[in-house]
Amino acid sequence: MAATASTQPESAGTPNFLGSPPRRSRLSPIWQICAPLVTNQAMSLLALSKSVLARHSWFPVFSNARGVSLDPEAHQQLGAAILAASAGFWTGLALIVIICR
C-alpha cells in the first residue's frame, strides 16, 4: 500500500498570530491582539493559584528531595513568580510586534 502525501502542512489548522515567513497570519488584527492577552491571563491565573491560593505544595516530590534548600511552598511560590514575570515579558514582546506591523 502506498502512503499518500498531504498537500497541506501539518500546522494548517493552528492559529498564527505573529506570522512567520513563509506563513502569513490568518487572524484579523483584533484576534492577533486578543490571543496573547488571553494566554497571558491564563498564565497569570495559574501563577496566582500556585502562589497565593494554594494551601499546600502541588508537587510533593520536593518535600524529600536532596539538595533543595527551599521548603516546597517557597519553591512553588518562586516558580509562580517566574511564571508571572515571563508571561508578562513574552506578551509585551508579542504585542509590540503585532502593533508595529
* Local mean pLDDT, 10-residue blocks, the chain (101 residues): 49 60 73 89 88 79 73 83 88 88 77
Identify the pLDDT of residue 16. 61
pTM: 0.60
How many structural domains compose the chain? 1
Asked if residue 46 belongs to a domain, the reply is: yes
Range of the structural domain that residue 94 is part of: 29-55+71-100
Identify the pLDDT of residue 23. 64
Identify the pLDDT of residue 51. 83
Element (H, E) at 29: helix 29-51
Asked if residue 14 belongs to a domain, the reply is: no
Identify the pLDDT of residue 6. 46
Asked if residue 62 belongs to a domain, the reply is: no
Asked if residue 1 belongs to a domain, the reply is: no
Length of the chain: 101
Asked if residue 84 belongs to a domain, the reply is: yes
What is the maximum alpha-carbon separation in the chain?
Answer: 58
